[in-house]
Structure 1
Amino acid sequence: MSSNIGVSLDGYLNDKIDSIEDGDECMTEAYYSEASTYDLKTIPGKVASANAGVGHARVKHGIMVADARGPQAEAIAKATILGVEAKAGSSLGQAHAKVGPLAGAAVQGPNVEARVYGKTTTGTVGAELTLGAGSASANIGPLTATAGLNIDTGVSAGLGGVSAKVLGTGVSLGGREGLSVSFLGSKLRLF
């Protein structure tokens, strides 16, 4: 079981900018596929993405949006001055509703994601595989809370230390944490 509470100013600011483009929309699709490339505005970089799925419904009125998708698969590649990332995943379904940047909620069904990355800020490279039974999240402004059941497997190494995790249980050595051992989302800091 994993859960977290955090503040994401980057996501909050992007939603705030997106919500300025008010307008109404109502659509449904039995099957869909999308592919795009675009430049990032907040942090200089580029993104290429593609996704496809079965069943999509969306309604938007002003800054209020509700969106639901059935089974889907996606792939994303991103490069910025902070690093590079490539990931591919699939989900049996997801839905979200939000009132611009003010508040929102989301749920995701069973899912799998594979990710590789390199971060220039920490000199870290890594690879991860996440299997999830589902998750739910909610936000008020930049404050976000998420709860879900995931089993993570992955490795990373860099200037800040090394870490490895298999089926949710792992070890980290170096960096701020010293030596820590995690078990299904719980951490024990040994020194």
Structure 2
Amino acid sequence: MAGLTGSDLVVGEWSWAPVEEVAGWARFWASASWPMTEDVAIDLGVEHLGWSVDEKGAAVGPWPLNRPGVTLSRAYGAKDCRSFSFNVTDSVARYREQLDAEGQQSWKAFVRDRFTLLVRAHKAELGKAQRFRETFQGRTLVTARWDLPDGGIRWDVTQSEGAVRVYLTSPATAAMERRLGH
């Protein structure tokens, strides 16, 4: 995969977000004014990052992915957004069932390569990440994590068997997680 810069949106049959844009999103959210409500987060995403809003009022990312939704969350009864996540690659939930042997190998290489390219791009922008591997519900997750001092957000890029996904944690929630040793 030498020579790939992240500007190609489609590799083989699968789509992915340009790594430069994803790195730009990290800078954008790090410099945003926190705390903010989910509605404010969506408005900022629409105004600055090319998000749209679907007929149900949910945020949708700008890339041609098979699952482009942005999932926002807040604590029960709270008004402030505490985190959100979005895919940066297409998602194949049960690739072993859906793909033949050659397709499975291609899929695994695809998510591994996209994760690697994204982490490299983020390293140039955000510095070295903390990396860890964990097992969740019998599946291995590989995560690169940046705790950003200039905004206090936590920015995780996670590779699973099914996709590469980014998780943003608000400064207040990230601070609480750090105090708890996470």
TM tier relative to shorter chain: under 0.3
Q: Give TM-score, length-normalised by structure 2.
A: 0.27
| Structure having the higher Rg | 1
Q: Give TM-score, length-normalised by structure 1.
A: 0.26
Which of 1 and 2 has higher RCO (CA within 8 Å, sep 6+)?
2
More strand by share: 1
More helix by share: 2
